[in-house]
Amino acid sequence: PGVRKKRVVTTIVYILMLFVGASIIASIYFPCWAGGSQKIYTQFRAHSNERILANIGVDIGLQKVNVTLRFERLLSSNDLLPEVDMTKLYYNEGFDISGVSSMSEALNHALTQGLPYPMLSVLEYFSLNQDAFDWGRHYRVAGHYTNAVMWFGFACWLLSVILILLLPHDAYKSIVATGCSLLVACLLYLLMSPCELRIVFTGENLERVDLTATFSFCFYLIFANGILCIICGLGLGLCQHWRVY
Amino acid sequence: IHQNEEFQKYDGWYNNLANIKWGSAGSRLHRDAPSNYQDGVYAVNNSLPSARALSNLLFKGESGIPNTRNVTTLLAFFSQVVAYEIMKSNGVSCPLETLRIPVPKYDEVFDKKGEDNTEIPFIRAKYDKSTGNGLNSPREQINEVTSWLDGSFIYGTSEPWVASLRSFKNGRLLEGVPGYPPLNNPHIPLNNPAPPQIHRLMSPDRLFMLGDSRVNENPGLLSFGLILFRWHNFLADRINIDHPDWTDEQTFQAARRFVIASLQKIIAYDFVPALLGGIELDPYTKYMPHVPPGISHAFSAAAFRFPHSIVPPAMLLRKRGKKCEFRTEVGGYPALRLCQNWWNAQDIVREYSVDEIVLGMASQIAERDDNIVVEDLRDYIFGPMHFSRLDVVASSIMRGRDNGLPPYNVLRRVFSLEPKTWQTINVEFYKNHREKIEALKELYSGNIDALDSYVGGMLEGGENGPGELFIAIIKDQFQRIRDGDRFWFENRLNGLFNDQEIENIRKWTLRDIIKATTDIDETMLQKDVFFFKEGDPCPQPFQVNTTNLEPCVPFMRSTYWTDNDTTYVFTLIGLICIPIICFGIGRFLVNRRVSIGHHQACDSLNTLFPSETCSKAEVYGVNALEWIQEEYIRQVRVEIENSTMTLLKPRGRGVLRKLRFEEGQKIEIIHSIPQSSKVHGPFVLISQKRNNHIVFRLPSDYDLSQFLENITVAVRSVNAQLEARSEENYVILEHAVTKEKRQDELDHFFREAYARAFDKNDLSDGTFTINEDDEMYNETITREELASAMGMRENDVFVKRLFAMTAKQNDDSISFQEFFQSLKSFTKGTQHDKFRQIFDMCDTEGTGKVLRKDFADLIRSLNKKAGIAIDQTKEDNLIRSVIFNAGVKQKSEYLTERDFELIFGKFSDDRPVGFPVNRNQPTSDRASLNSFAVVEKSTIDISAPQTYWRNLTAFLETYRQHVFILFVFYAANIILFLERFWHYRYMTEHRDLRRVMGAGIAITRGAAGSLSFCMALVLLTVCRNLITILRETVISQFIPFDSAIGFHKIIALTAAFWATVHTVGHCVNFYHVGTQSQEGLTCLFQEAVFGSNFLPSISYWFFSTITGLTGLALVSVMCIIYVFALPCFIRRAYHAFRLTHLLNIAFYALTILHGLPKLLDSPKFGYYILGPVILFVFDRIIGLMSYYKKLDIVNAEILPSDIIFIEFRRPRSFIYKSGQWVTVSSPAISCSGNESHAFSIASSPQDSTVKLYIKAVGPWTWKLRSEIIRAQTYNSPYPLIHLKGPYGDGNQEWMNFKVAVMVGGGIGVTPYASTLNDLVQLTSQDSFNRVRCEKVYFLWVCPSHKNYEWFVDVLKEVEKQDRKGIIETHIFVTQVFNKFDLRTTMLYICEQHFRGTNSGVSMFTGLHAQNHFGRPDFKSIFRWIANRHEDQEEIGVFSCGPNQLNEKISEGCSEANRNHATNLDLVISENAVNLQYDMLCEFDHL
Ligand SMILES: Cc1cc2nc3c(=O)[nH]c(=O)nc-3n(C[C@H](O)[C@H](O)[C@H](O)COP(=O)(O)OP(=O)(O)OC[C@H]3O[C@@H](n4cnc5c(N)ncnc54)[C@H](O)[C@@H]3O)c2cc1C
Ligand code: HEM
Ligand code: HEM
C-alpha cells in the first residue's frame, strides 16, 4: 500500500536498499576489510644485492587476502647481474585464506613461483598457524564467521527487498534485521581479527617500519550500512506506527 | 663485510640457482641410498626384530665408561646443536601413524612386573604428501629446518620468528635480563612437552625465546643457545662500533653473517674432525652448485645419532674463577642428572648460569664412543604424556625403518664399503661379546642383510669414534652442505667477505665464542674445548656415572581421559535427563490446566465469580465456579435451602443442578486444604450416591467455612450423614467423577455389554472374559444414565418402563448382569420373546392387555428425544396409522399380544432393521443398500495369507502415492547416509578422523547428512500456502498433499532417529577424542589451535566449543519440541505445543551454528536447507499477503453442542474454494500471543460473508464462545477477527470426480456445508461449470440430529436447490445403538410410516435424506456404491471427521478396492486430525 502515494519515502528506501545490497555483496567478495600499505626498502630477488624502494600493501578480506607490490625506484645495485627493468613492476596477487592450510599452500606455491621477497614475507605471516603466529588463522576465523553473518545479512536484505515489493508494511522488520546482522558482522570482525599484525620491513630511511593492518573500507562501509539500515528500518516502523507511511 | 650484501633468506630458499628449493625448510630429505619400505612405497618393515629388544641387547650397559679419546661432554652437547641447526625431521605427520614397539617381557624399565603387554609408541615422521604413492616415489620425510649452516638454530627459519627475537635496535637480538633472551610470554611456537619428571603440562612462559623450537630441552643445549645468542649481540655491538652509521637492519644482517660464518667454520673444520676421530673434510675448493645439500636419510636417521653414545648421564657444574672448583651439591647430588631435567633447562641455566655449565662440560669427559647409551637417553628420555619415558635407541632404530633406510650392508655398499658379516662388523666387540652378536644374529634370524643400518653402524664404533660407515655418511653430508652452499663463508663468489675477513673467520674457534660471551677466563678453558688433554686446566673430579645420582622418575602412563570421567558421566546423565525433564514440564502444564480448569490468562470471563448478591435473604447462597471438565468452568450460584442444594445459573436464570438430601443418605464432601492456594479459592467436591460429583470453587476460605456450616445444617435436618474431609487440590480433581469421566465408564459399560451379548469382540475394550472380579460386574447404572445413553430423558415413559423391567434387584439401579440379561433376551430370543418383552413393558398393570394410550405414549416418548421435527397432531396420526396399517382393529381400547405381533411381525429376523427405503430403487439394489447401516459379519471368507496379500495390494492401491513418496524419502535418507558413511569410512582420510573415531565418525556424519536432509524436507511439508497453490496443478496427481502433516510427522520422527544416532555417536566419538594426546589432537582438529600447555578435556569439547554447546542446546531444543509434539500434549496442551514449535527457528539457527566452526569438516547443512528455507520464507510471505485484519463479525450464534456460529465480512480479495479452511485469530480472545486456529469454511464461495461453525473444545474456542455470549447479553460489539488463508484441503477436489462420496463426522461436516452448497449452486445454473460430478453421496454421521440442527437447515437448503438430484444424503444417527436396539426398531417403524404419508420426508429432519440408526458400515456402503457405479474408473471418497471414523473409512475403501474394478480414491481432510470421535458421547452443556 502506498507505493504510489508515498513516492518520496519509497524512492529513498529503494535507493537505500540497492546501495546496501551492493555494499554487502562487494564486502563479501572484495578483500577490503582490513589492510595497510607501506613504503619499504627491500631486496626483491636472490643472487643480487640490488635494493629497491617499493610499496607493499596487504588487503584482507573475508576469504581472501590481496598482496600488492609496486616498484618505486632502484636504490642501489652493484653486482654483476644484468639489470632488469622493473619500472612497470606491479604485483597484485590474491590468496585464499579460507582453509586451514590454504595459506601455507599459497606460500609454498608463491615460493616456487618465485614472487618477490617482500610478498613472501607477507605471506609467511599469514601462513603460520601456531601459537602466537596465528595472524592468518585469526583473519581466517574472523572472516569465516563474519562471512556467515554477512550472508545472513544478505538473506535479510533479499527478504527486505521482496517484502518492500510485496508487503511494504512488514519490510521494516527485516530491514532492521539486516542492519543488526551487519553490525554483528562488524562486531565479530572487530573481536576476532588479530589486534596486532605487524609485518616488519625496512623503511625508506633504513629504519624499521611495520606494515600494520587496520580496519579498512569494507569494515566501515558495512558498519555505516548497518547503522543506516537500523535507522531506516526504525524510521519506517515509526512512520507506520504514526500512519505516515 | 658491506652494508648491502645479498640477503640470505631465513627459510633457505633460492640458495641454489637451478634448484631453488634445495636446502630450504620443509624440503624433502635427500635420498642417497635406495629406500627399503616393505611394500616399496611407504610401509614399515614389520618383520624386523623389536627395536626395544635390540636396544636392550646391544645398547644397554654401565655408564661412566670414560671416552678413550678424551672427548668432552661439550662435544656431545655441541653435536646436538649441530644436529638441530641442520635438521628437524621428526615432526608429526597427519593423520597420525603410530607404530608400537613391543617391549620384551620383564624389561627393566617398561615392564617391571612382567605383564608382557607394554608397547612403546612411535609416531611416524612428517613426510611430503606428494610422495609415498607409487613405487618410484617412495615416502620421503621432510626436513623442517634449513639444511644449510645458516644459523637457523639462532634465528629460526621464518621471518615472524626472527622478528619476534629481534630488538630492532643496533642490530641486536632482544634481551630479557641482560645476557638472556626474553621468556616466551608471547607464546611463539616453542616445543613444550610435559617434562616427564613432573608429568604435567607446564606453561610455555617459562621457556627462553630462541631461534630453535627445541632449544630448551636440556641445560647443555640451552647453554649453547644462549652463547650463540650472546655471540650475535657481541658481534652486533662490534659492528656498531666499527660502523656507527649503519642502521639496525644492516648491523643485524652483518652480525648474522658473522655468526653464520663462525658457525660454519667451527662446525665444518673443528667439530666434524673432533667427532669423527680426526677425519677432516676435504679442503674447500669452490662453490659447487650441482651438489645437493639436503640432509640424507642415512645421516638423519642413523649416522648423526652416533653422538648419543657419548652423552653422559649427568652434567658436572664447575664454578667460575681460577680455582677449579666443581659444584658438589646440585640439588643434593654431585651432578645434574639429565633425565630429571628435560624441558626444565631454563631453571638450571638461570640458577647456575651458562658459565658453570659450559665450564663443567669442558672439563667433563664424555662417555665412550661405543655401542652403550646411558639410561638417561635409553630408558628415560622424555615422551608423550601417556608414555612419559621413551628409548632414544629404539626410536632411532624405528626412525630408520620409518624413513625406509636400507639395511646395513646395502648402505655400506652405497658408500663404497664392502659388506660385513656378523663376525666382522666389529671384530673387537665380537671377541668380547660374542654372545651378544649371536643373540643379535638370532633376532635377525641370521640374516645379516636385514640388519638395521643404525644398529650396524653403532656397533662399528670404537676407540676412534664412529665406525667407517658413519664416518663416510657424516663426512659426505657436511661436505655437501659446505660445497653446495652459495653463502658459504669461503665462497668468494658471493661477495660476502673479503679475504681478510675469511682469514679471520678461519681462526675463530668455539673457545673464542665462549670467551666472548661468558665471564670465563682464558686460563680456565683448554684450547680445544672438544677434548680434554693432558695439562688442560681443571680436570673433572670423577667420571660421572649413575650410582650416586638422583634416580630418574620412572616412566608413567596416563590416559588423557582420567580427569574427564566425572564430566563425561554427568554430561551424559544430563543429556538423558533432558527429555525426562521436558516430559515432566509437559505433565505439569497439563496438570495445571486440569486443576485450574482453564488457561489462567484466559480466565477473564469464565472464571470471574458472579457478582450479584443473594436474592432471598433467608437462603444461604454463595457465588462459585463450577468445574465441569478440564477446559470448562462455569459461573454458578450455589444455594442451600432446607434440604436441597441448588446450582443456579448466574443472574438467576434457571436451575442447573439440584441436589436433594434424603434421609439416611451419606453425603461426602471433600474440600481443599484451607489456605492451599493464594490465587484460587478452595475447591469443594460433593458426592451423593448415584450422582456425578459436583465440584466447584468458592471465592475464599471464609466462604468455605460458611458453606460447610450451612450444608451441615441442611443435611442434619433430614437425618442424613455428612462426611467432610480435606485433600490436596489435585487429589480432589483426580477423584472427581465428572460427567465426562462417568461417560467414559458408561461407554465402557455399554460396549462391554453389547460385546458380550452379540459376541462382537471388536466392540469390547479389553479382554473378553467374564470375570467375577471384573470391575464391570460391580458397576451399576442409574436410570438417568440409561436414559442418556439411549438419548432419552429419565422421565420418558419408555425409559421408565424399560428400567423397571430390567432392574430386578434394586429398583434404582441396574447392574451389569441385569442389563446383560435383558439385552440377551432381546437378541438371542425368538421373535416371539421380543414381542413379549415389549408387551411386558407396555403392560404396566400386568393385566395382559395394553392400553392403546400407553402404547402411544411409549412411542411418543421415543420420538421426542430423537429430535422429531413434526407436531403433535401429525404424530398422533402417525401412531394411529401405524396401528391401523398393522391390521389392528381401530376401535379396541386395548392391544393384545397378538396385535403386537401384527405390528412388529412385518420385520422378520433376516430383515435387518436400520435401512433407508428409496422408492425409486430397484429391489435388488435395496437389498444391498439395506444392510449398510449395520455392522455385519463379513461374508467373504478367505484364507488368511491370501487376505494379507489382498489387504496389502489394496492398501498399496489406495496409498500408492504415499508409499511411493515414503519410499523415495527413505531411499534418499539411506543413500545420503551411505554416501557420507562411505566417504568417511573408505574414501579420503585427510585427517585423523578415522584412526581416532573409527566407524563412529562415518556413522555420525552419515546421520548428520540424513538429518540435514530431513530437516530441510520437513520445512517443505509445512508450506501450506505453496501446497494450496500446488494442489491446483498437475503435481497434485503425484504428491498426496493432504498427508502433508502426516508426512511432516514421519520426517520429524526420522529426523529424531538420526539425531539420536548422531548424538550418541558423537558422545562416543568425543570419548575417543578425550583420550587423544596433543599430537593426535593437532591432527584431528586443525581448525582449533591450542596452547602448548593446554590439553582439551571433555568439558572443553562439550562446553567450550560452539559445536559442543550448540549440540547440547540442540538436544534440549529437540527434546522440548518433540515432547510437546507428543499426541497427549498436543491434545491437552495445544498451546504449549504451538509455543514450543516456535523453537524451530532456534533449532535451525543452532544447527547452522553447530556446523559453523568446521570442527571436523566443513559444514554442509546450509546447502541442504537453502532451497527449502527460501520456499518456506516465500510461503510465509504468501501467508502474510493473505492475512486479513480486523474483520467484523456480522452475525454470531450459540448453537447446541457447544457449537458457535460466526459469520463475518468477507474481504474483497479473499477468494476460496469450497472445502478449504482458514486460520482465525483474534487479539481479544488470544490467551497469549495472537494464536490462530484452523477452521473450515462453511459458506460457499458464492456467499458474501464467511461462515464458520466452531465447536468449543479448548481454551480458545471456549473463550470465543464466552465472548460471543457476552457480546450478545450486553449488546456490545463482537470481537474483531483476523483471518489467514485460505488453505487447501483434500475436500476441495470433489469436483474432479464424477462420483464422489463425502463423509462428515461430528463437527467435520462444516466443510461440506460449503461444498454441498457450492455444488448445487454450480450445477443448478445451466451454464458451463467445472463440476464433473454426476452423483454425490453425502454420508453424515452424527450422534443425533438435534445437535446439528443448523446443518439440517443447510441440508434443507441444499435439497431445495438440488433439482437434478445429484446429491444423495444418508444420515447416520449414532446415538441409538444399532439394529438390536428396541428403540431403534420402534423409531424405524415410525419413520417408515411417516415417510410413507409425507412423500418421503423424514419425520426427524424434514429432509428427504435417508436416516439410518447406528454406525455406518463403510465396507458394505462402499461395496454397494462401487457396484452401482461400475462404469466409473474412479470414485472420490472424501472424509472429514474423527480419527476412528477415518480409519473405518479407509478400511472400507481398501476392502472395496480389493473387490472392484472401480477405484476409490480416498481423501482424508486435514481437519480430521484433531476431532474426537463423538459417536456415543456427545452431550449438551447448555
Ligand atoms: C484444517 C482444520 C479445519 C478445522 N475446522 C474446524 C471447524 O470447521 N470447526 C471446528 O469447530 N473446528 C475445526 N477444527 C479444529 C479446531 O482448529 C480446534 O478445535 C481449535 O483450534 C481448538 O482450539 P482451542 O484453543 O479451543 O483448544 P485446545 O485446548 O487448544 O485444543 C483442543 C483440541 O483441539 C486441537 N487443536 C487446537 N488447536 C488446533 C489447531 N489450530 N489446529 C488443529 N487442531 C487444533 C488440539 O489438538 C486439541 O486436541 C479444524 C482444524 C483443522 C486443522
Ligand atoms: C524436526 C522437528 C520438527 C520441525 C523442524 C518442525 C517444524 C514445523 C514447522 C516449521 C511448522 C509450521 C509451524 C507453523 O505453521 O506455525 C510445523 C507445524 C507442525 N508440526 Fe512440526 N516440526 C517438527 C517436529 C514435529 C513433530 C515431532 C510433530 C508431531 C508429531 C510435529 C507436528 C506438527 C504439526 C501438527 C504442525 C501443524 C501445527 C499447526 O499448523 O498448527 N512437528 N512444524
Ligand atoms: C551433544 C550433542 C552433539 C554433539 C557433540 C555434536 C557434534 C557434532 C560434530 C562434532 C559435528 C561435526 C561438525 C563439523 O563438521 O564441524 C556435528 C555435525 C552436525 N550435527 Fe551435531 N552434535 C550433537 C548434537 C546434534 C543434534 C541434537 C543435532 C540435531 C539437529 C545435530 C545436528 C548436526 C548436523 C545437522 C551436523 C552437520 C552440520 C553440517 O554439516 O553443517 N547435532 N555435530
User: Does residue B641 have a pLDDT over 80?
Assistant: no
3-state SS of B43-90 is CCCCCCCCHHHHHHHHHCCCCCCECCCCEEHHHHHHHHHHHHHHCCCC
- For the cut 50, the answer to whether the pLDDT of residue B408 exceeds it is yes
pLDDT at B763 over 70: no
Position B149 scores a pLDDT of: 94
Query: Residues with beta carbon inside 6 Å of ligand 1?
Result: B 631, 1130-1131, 1134-1135, 1221, 1237-1240, 1253-1255, 1257-1261, 1307, 1310, 1470-1471, 1473-1474
CA of B1440 to the centre of ligand 1 (A): 13
pLDDT at position B117 over 80:
yes
Instruction: Assess whether the C-beta atom of B1048 lies below 6 angstroms from ligand 2.
Output: yes
Whole-number Å distance, alpha carbon B365 to ligand 1 midpoint, is 95
* Ligand 2 atom closest to B1126 (CA): 30
Whole-number pLDDT of residue B928: 33
- Comparing CA positions, the residue from B168, B7, B233 lying closest to residue A209 is B168
pLDDT at B603: 41
Q: Is the pLDDT of residue B1241 over 80?
A: yes
Decide if B5 and A49 are in contact by the 8 Å CB cutoff.
yes
**Does A202 reach chain B within 8 Å, measured CB to CB?**
yes
Which pLDDT belongs to residue B88? Answer: 92
pLDDT at B746 over 60: yes
CB atoms within 10 A of CB B1483: 17
Helix (H, G, I), strand (E, B) or coil at B1475: coil
Of the segments B824-833, B1136-1145, B1212-1221, which one has the largest average pLDDT value?
Answer: B1136-1145
Strand order in the sheet with B1299-1305: B1410-1413, B1367-1373, B1335-1342, B1299-1305, B1434-1440, B1463-1468
> What's chain B's length in residues?
1486
pLDDT over 70 percentage in chain B: 78
Highest-pLDDT range among B181-190, B988-997, B1263-1272, B1407-1416: B181-190
- Calpha distance B825→B817 (Å, rounded): 12
pLDDT digits (tens, 9 = 90+) for B889-900: 656 667 776 676
Mean pLDDT (chain A) is 87
Q: What torsion do the CA atoms of A144, A146, A150, A156 make, to the nearest 10 degrees?
A: 110
Neighbouring CB atoms inside 10 A of A34's CB total: 25
Report the pLDDT value the prediction gives residue A183, as an integer from 0 to 100: 95
pLDDT, tens digit (0-9, with 9 covering 90-100), for B520-560: 888 888 989 999 988 888 888 889 888 888 889 888 888 88
Best of A41, A44, A49 to disrupt the B interface by mutation (most B CBs within 10 Å)? A49
Q: Which of B50-64, B424-438, B584-598, B1147-1161 has the lowest mean pLDDT?
A: B584-598
The 10 Å Cβ neighbour count of residue A8 is 8
User: What gap in Å lies between CA B606 and CA B678, rounded to an integer?
Assistant: 19
pLDDT at B882 over 80: no
Residue that the C-alpha cell 554487502 belongs to: A24
pLDDT band at B1344 (very low <50, low <70, confident <90, very high): low
Over range B596-621, report the average pLDDT: 51
Atom 17 (ligand 1) nearest CA: B1238
Residue B1024: its H or E element: helix B1024-1030
Q: Is B1008 in the pocket of ligand 3 (CB under 6 A)?
A: yes
CA distance B1094 to B1076: 13
What residues 152-171 of chain A have any CB closer than 8 A to a CB of chain B?
159, 162-163, 166-167, 170
Residue found by looking up cell 573481536 in the block? A191
Residue B765 or B8, more confident:
B8
CB B931 within 8 A of CB B915: yes
Of B329, B303, B314, nearest in space to B63 by CA? B314
B1358-1406 pLDDT tens trace: 888 877 778 888 887 765 544 445 555 566 666 666 666 666 666 666 6
Task: Check residue B275 and give its pLDDT.
Answer: 93
Mean pLDDT of B290-295: 94
Residue B929 is predicted with a pLDDT of 36
Residues in CB range of B487: below 8 A, 6 or more apart: B8, B15, B148, B150, B260, B494, B496
The H or E element that residue B1368 is part of is: strand B1367-1373
Q: Which residue of B has its CA nearest to A209?
A: B168
- B chain contacts of residue A45, beta-carbon cutoff 8 Å: 14
Residue B913, pLDDT score: 35
A39 close to A215: Cβ distance less than 8 angstroms: no
Per-residue model confidence as pLDDT tens digits over A69-124:
999 888 877 766 777 788 888 999 999 988 888 888 999 999 999 999 999 999 99
What backbone torsions phi and psi does residue A236 show, to the nearest 5 degrees? -60, -45
Supply the residue whose CA is at minimum distance from atom 37 of ligand 3.
B1008
| B1163 pocket-lining for ligand 3 (C-beta < 6 Å) | yes
CB B1141 less than 6 A from any atom of ligand 2: yes
Q: Give mean pLDDT, residues B17-26.
A: 91
Cα-Cα-Cα-Cα dihedral sign, residues B435, B439, B442, B448: negative
Ligand 2 atom index nearest CA of B1144: 5
Rounded Cα distance between B824 and B1157, Å, is 74
What local confidence, expressed as pLDDT, does residue B94 receive?
Answer: 81
**Residue with the larger pLDDT of the pair B710 and B239:** B239
Which residues are CB-neighbours of B1053 under 8 A, at least 6 positions away? none
pLDDT score for B417 = 93
The pLDDT score that the predictor gives to residue B876 is 73
- Is residue B507 over pLDDT 70? yes
List chain A residues with pLDDT less than 70.
Answer: 1-6, 79-80, 195, 244-245
Mean pLDDT value across residues B1166-1181: 92
What was the pLDDT predicted at B890? 59
B480 pLDDT above the threshold of 70: yes
Residue B85 scores a pLDDT above 90: yes
> What is residue B1405's predicted lDDT score, i.e. its pLDDT?
66
Bigger pLDDT: B633 or B587?
B587
Instruction: Specify which of B120-124, B462-466, B793-797 reaches the highest per-range mean pLDDT.
Output: B120-124
| Residues B6/B8/B9/B13 CA torsion (nearest 10 deg) | 100
For the record, the C-alpha cell of A30 comes out as 572484495
pLDDT at B1222: 87
HSE-CB of B549 using CA atoms within 13 angstroms: 26
Is the per-residue pLDDT at B1130 higher than 60? yes
What distance in Å separates the CA atoms of residue B661 and residue B688, rounded to the nearest whole number?
Answer: 8
pLDDT exceeds 80 at position B828: no
Predicted local confidence at residue B216, as pLDDT: 92
Contact between B160 and A76 using a beta-carbon 8 Å cutoff:
no
Distance from CA of B1236 to the nearest CA of A (A): 19
Give residue-wise pLDDT tens across range B1296-1313.
Answer: 778 888 888 777 788 888
Contacts of A202 in chain B (CB under 8 A): 247, 249
Q: What would the mean pLDDT of B1184-1196 be, rounded to a whole number?
A: 83
A173 touches B at CB < 8 Å: no
Residue-wise pLDDT for B339-392, tens only, equals 999 998 998 998 899 999 999 999 999 999 888 999 999 999 998 888 889 999
Please report the pLDDT score of residue A6 as a whole number: 67
- Ligand 2 binding pocket includes B1121 (Cβ within 6 Å): yes
CB A157 within 8 A of CB A24: yes
Q: Compute, in angstroms, the gap from residue B1261 CA to the centroid of ligand 2.
A: 21
Question: Using the 8-state DSSP alphabet, how is residue B1357 labeled?
Answer: H
- What is residue A79's predicted lDDT score, i.e. its pLDDT? 65
Q: Name the pLDDT band for B470 (thresholds 50, 70, 90).
A: very high
Q: What is the pLDDT of residue B75?
A: 94
Q: Say how far apart CA B416 and CA B410 lie, in whole Å.
A: 10
pLDDT for B829: 61
Find the mean pLDDT for residues B1042-1065: 91
pLDDT tier for residue B1 given thresholds of 50, 70 and 90: confident
Predicted TM-score of the model (pTM): 0.82
B169, B247, B1284, best to mutate vs chain A, most A CBs in 10 Å: B247
For chain B, what is the mean pLDDT? 80
Nearest Cα residue to atom 13 of ligand 3: B1155
> What secondary structure letter does DSSP report for A133?
B
Measured in angstroms, how far is the CA atom of residue B1425 from the centroid of ligand 1? 32
CA–centroid distance, B1343 to ligand 1, in Å, is: 20
Lowest mean pLDDT among B125-134, B445-454, B1322-1331: B1322-1331
Please say if the pLDDT value at position B675 is more than 70.
no
The minimum-distance atom of ligand 2 relative to the CA of B1052 is 1
Q: What is the pLDDT of residue B462?
A: 81
